[in-house]
Structure 1
Amino acid sequence: MIAVIILIGAMSGVFTAAGLFALITSVGVINRYADVSGTSRHVSLYEECIIIGATAANAVYVLGITVRIGMTGCIIFGLISGIFIGTFLISLAETVKALPIFVHRAKAGTGLGFIVAATAAGKALGQLVYYLYMY
């Protein structure tokens, strides 16, 4: 009975992770990173890194492994997390065409770059505050 529960839990995790990877791929985050950085030939490497990173993070979380990275590691992790979440949200907004609607309704024809940069900086700062003080 316990083996069945473990199997169901593991399969649920696998299906949830597959759904997340499908969402990231369909939104176009990986392709956008490759286009912006000029490394389109390494898209499969990006995908593998995301899968390995998510698998490692899940293993650390599920198994309760303590990873001591210090203050510098927290700062680096916070910056990387903020960058990823910010770019993921921007890619998602581009996919659903939310940015043009926002620009039209807010009448923000000029200064759009500032709005995007401020949003990204705010998300990165929020990640830093969370991981440095609240975590």
Structure 2
Amino acid sequence: MLEFFLILVGFSEGVIIGSGLAAFLLVLKIIPRLIRFGSSNQYLKDYQAVVVLGAITATYFQFYTWQLPQIYLLNEVLTIIIGFIFGIFVGLIAAALTETLKALPILSKRVNLENRIKTLLFFLILGKVIGSLIYWFYPQLWS
């Protein structure tokens, strides 16, 4: 009976998390916005496949212990590549949310930079990159 209850709870949690992710992606129209920004309508099926593959891969890594092979410098290179891919994903989601909330046009009006929105965007990205580099190269500052 306990096993059945644990299976039911686990399945319910999965449904809740999946519903939250679907609502996030659908209500805020994250993927359509990314497609529109990239002018890549011909890759719609690829976008769908990547989202599903990402969910399946994340589920796999939650259930099974997986380690990178201990080959000279391979761990470091794979860690950098995976970190770079995660950073791109988080940046794209943040950009889509910012565009959804119309944050940049409002900010540019507030600081009187309506004609220089590209410059504003450049410095926002530069600040994020510098902050991330400080965070990762100087971890002793945060402990």
TM over 0.5, shorter chain? yes
Cα distance change, pair 102–109 in 1 and its aligned pair in 2 (3 A) = same
**Structure 1: how far apart are the matches of 2:62 and 2:138?**
20
Cα distance change, pair 41–15 in 1 and its aligned pair in 2 (3 A) = farther
* Paired residues for 1:1-135 under 5 Å: 1-68=2-69, 70-120=75-125, 123=128, 126=132, 130=136
Q: For residues 21-64 of structure 1, give each alpha carbon's deviation from its aligned partner in whole angstroms, at most 9, with x where no partner exists.
A: 33123323322332233321322321221121122123213433
Gaps of 5+ in 1: none
Contact 1:82/1:120 (CA < 8 Å) preserved in 2? no
Cα distance change, pair 64–107 in 1 and its aligned pair in 2 (3 A) = farther
Cα distance change, pair 70–103 in 1 and its aligned pair in 2 (3 A) = same
Instruction: Percent identity, please.
Output: 26
RMSD: 2.9
- Structure 1 window deviating more from structure 2 (70-79 vs 58-67): it is 58-67
**Structure 2: how far apart are the matches of 1:63 and 1:28?**
32
TM-score, normalised by the number of residues in structure 2: 0.71
**Structure 1: how far apart are the matches of 2:122 and 2:4?**
49
Contact 1:27/1:95 (CA < 8 Å) preserved in 2? yes
Contact 1:81/1:127 (CA < 8 Å) preserved in 2? no
- Structure 1 window deviating more from structure 2 (88-97 vs 104-113): it is 104-113
Q: Which amino acid aligns with 1:26?
A: V
Structure index of larger Rg: 2
Q: Which runs of 4+ in 1 moved over 3 A?
A: 117-125, 127-130
